[in-house]
Amino acid sequence: MRNTKLYHLTLLPLALIGLFLIFGYNKLSQDNPKPVTLVEFNKLVNADKNVLVYFHASWCAVCRKMKPIIDTIDISNKTIKVIKIDTDVDKEIANQFEINDLPVLILFRNGRINWTYVGLIDKNILKQKLPF
């Protein structure tokens, strides 16, 4: 009986570590570029006519659902520049816009905020809001 308890006491931490590695480990990827300064951000937003800013975080489950939609918009729409802001990396920008919930989409037109959305949005509804 005592060996069974010891077995379970060693198995549980190993199982938890395994789950962490599978589901909670944040791999570095090309989606996590170097931090963007507020000055760089303002230049990017003002440089193009239409800019969609996508605030997200690697730990956000809704953001992970939203990512393929944003990637599709980024690739398919040549009239909009997409800027992805990781709120854990680009804290200065997230603080500037008082980002408390994720994901957040902000559409800038000619350097001014035109539209804001918080949460998961359907791809078709998003496309209706964006200039194509």
Catalytic residue among 52, 57, 63, 73: 63
SS3 of 54, please?
strand
Known catalytic residue at 58? no
Closest CA to 58 of 82, 85, 95: 85
Known catalytic residue at 63? yes
φ/ψ bin of 105: left (φ > 0), alpha (ψ from -120 to 50), beta (otherwise)? beta
Catalytic residue among 45, 60, 83, 126: 60
45, 108 in Cβ contact below 8 A? Answer: yes
Q: Which residues are catalytic?
A: 60, 63
